[in-house]
Amino acid sequence: MTFRFSLLALSLVLMTTDAMAQDVAAGEKSFNKCRACHQVGETAKNTVGPILNGLFGRKSGTVAGYNYSDANKNSGLTWDDAVFTDYIKDPKGKIPGTKMSFAGIKNEQEIKDLTAFLKQFAADGKKGG
């Protein structure tokens, strides 16, 4: 009995870990849509768009050294799951006047995967933040 329960517990843990790994891998692929303009990781630099390290929890328009539009800077948004989901579905709908030229991602699962990928990067670009 105990043995069966621990097997069940173990397989639940394994399933959860596996699902999370897939999310991140799928999210990394999805991030290819962003790479033309955004960087993440320890060597990330501002390019066409701002660095996306440490995105979740930070206020919009606050990456040092990046020249944001007034629309982005003054949006008053803080990036959390719900705000990011709305924004990435329709950037110009969520922040009218943003200079981010990106049509958006409509697929909910893809947005979740992308969120899981981005959440790996702490503000210093190290993974595990």
Footprint on this chain of ligand HEC (rule: CB under 6 A): 33-34, 36-38, 48-50, 52, 55, 60-61, 63, 68-69, 71-72, 88, 98-102, 105, 114
Q: How far is the CB of 43 from ligand HEC (least distance, A)?
A: 18
Q: How far is the CB of 69 from ligand HEC (least distance, A)?
A: 3
Report the residue number, 10 or 97, with the smaller CB distance to ligand HEC: 97
Tell me how far apart the alpha carbons of residues 86 and 75 are, in angstroms, rounded to a whole number: 13
Report the residue number, 18 or 108, with the smaller CB distance to ligand HEC: 108
Structure tokens belonging to residue 55: 């995105």
Report the residue number, 63 or 116, with the smaller CB distance to ligand HEC: 63
Question: How far is CA 12 from each of CA 21, 22, 31, 113, 116, rounded to the nearest angstrom?
Answer: 14, 15, 29, 20, 20
Question: How is 65-82 classified by DSSP, letter by letter?
Answer: T----HHHHTS--B--HH
Report the residue number, 100 or 116, with the smaller CB distance to ligand HEC: 100
Judge contact between 46 and 65, C-beta under 8 A.
yes
